[in-house]
Chain A
Amino acid sequence: MIIMQDKRPLILVAIVSMAMTILLYGVGMFLIAGYLPPPSPLLTEPEIAAMYRENHTSIIAGLTMAFLGTGFMLPLWVMASVFMAEVEEGFPYFSIMQALCALATTLFTALPNLIWLAAAFRIDRPDELVYMLHDLGWIMWATPSWGFAFQFICFAICGLSDKRETPFVPRWLCYLGLWVALCVLVTPLVPFFTDGPFAWNGLFSFWVAFISPNLWSTLLAVYVIKRIRSQPSEIKGAVNA
């Protein structure tokens, strides 16, 4: 516990960073750009081109804000890898794997914003090019879930291997992480569908695959905050013992 006390400022930085991501990405994508929930893949070429022209400034502002937000994703995941490395004791395979997959997740979350920004950049761009960039961005955003899934699997393997009296994460949260990895399993089906539950705005490819990791992250944040707040008494108890 004393070791964790030393890391407390960095843990707080990591949590605040993730809060920044949620704020910037959430407000940018949901409220300003209007990109979440995703626009239907059934929208026609003129409808998509009109959407970019009519909401030109708000789309650029919202997407830029969300893009900045993705940069704040890494501190929490790097912190997770540090805790995982403690469990792995000198051979931090899953810790490094998790960190690399986190980088992939960050890139695949950030890059679509740049593609949509390119679509919105020139108002006089031909409709078919706007349409193609729009599709490219959404397929890149919704399809690659492997990085995310591997992150949760690596995290769960380390968490379930932690035999210390007070593991760095509760076992039930590890199992729930494995469930999240299965929930995002369906996203490679996105390019097959323009409609239905597996389309990029569908029940399974968007709602389940988007809500389940966020639910898990919220539970993790609540657990970490509770543990940090209860730390002084635990240290006192350990000293008295």
Chain B
Amino acid sequence: MSQTDQNPSTTVNFKAGPNRHQQTPASDARIPGELGLWIFLLADMSIFALYFWVFIWNQSLHPEQFLQGQASLNHSLGLLNTVILLSSSYFAAMAVHGARTKNTTAFLRNIKLTIACGLGFGLVKAVEYGEKFDAGLHIASNEFYSFYFAFTGIHMVHVIIGLSLLSYTLFSFTTEEKIRQQMANIEGTVLYWHMVDLLWVVLFSLIYLLQ
């Protein structure tokens, strides 16, 4: 995420618990977040990997239905949402950079932009769902739409959780001192948001594009 994290000579150093909050992150070469958080992220991504496998397996069982389903999706809105989430990840990374360089204004501005992107994603998703409902398509229409609504819906819940965490960060960590103390929580929130972004990129490729 930051230059310190990308240094190949960085020593892997997980520090969990209350004491790790007191370190000065900008001068500490380490992996952001804590061990437990990474376990959570990997476990959640494993479940999504299972979703992806089930989708591909069912696609092989009903190739015609999945082709028709993919063709009926609004690819422009899907692509727009991908761009929105990728932008949000950039702003989230810049927010962490602002926090590490003690630039509170940049930190808060980038958190707000990340939240705005998240809300934009939700709005576009609502429009897309609305199109499908208007066309009489719903979760029980066929296998393809079962997976489309279920997987994108579960992902949307992840987005809502991420937006809640980002909003808490925005309203609670407003001073330089508070940001320094809560660096681990800020990094954790942003890591989670990156995972949400990554999962969407795979979901978009799989549901909208992969034939």
Binding site for B on A (CB under 8 A): 163, 167, 170-176, 178-179, 182-183, 185-186, 189, 192-193, 196-198, 203-204, 208
Contacts and interface: CB of A to CB of B under 8 A. Distances in A.
Give chain B's interface residue range (CB within 8 Å of chain A).
20 to 34
B48 to A, nearest CB: 10
B146 A175 contact: no
B16 interface: yes
Given A182-B47, A198-B150, A203-B54, A193 B140 contact: yes
A192 B37 CA distance: 33
A189 B34 contact: no
B54 A172 contact: no
6 contacts: A172-B39, A176-B43, A185-B157, A186-B154, A203-B50, A208-B50
Contacts of B54: 197, 203-204
Pick the 9 closest A-B CB pairs, nearest first. Answer: A172-B36, A175-B36, A175-B40, A163-B18, A171-B36, A179-B43, A179-B40, A171-B16, A192-B140
A213 B165 CA distance: 24
Contacts of B43: 176, 179
Contact of A175 (B37, B154, B157): B37
Given A167-B17, A192-B140, A182 B39 contact: no
B69 to A, nearest CB: 15
Interface of B: 16-18, 34-37, 39-40, 43-44, 47, 50-51, 54, 58, 139-140, 143, 146, 150, 154, 157-158
Contacts of A196: 58, 143, 146
Given A171-B35, A176-B36, A198-B150, 17 more contacts: A171-B17, A172-B16, A172-B36, A172-B39, A174-B36, A175-B36, A175-B37, A176-B43, A179-B43, A179-B44, A179-B47, A185-B154, A192-B146, A193-B146, A196-B146, A197-B54, A204-B51
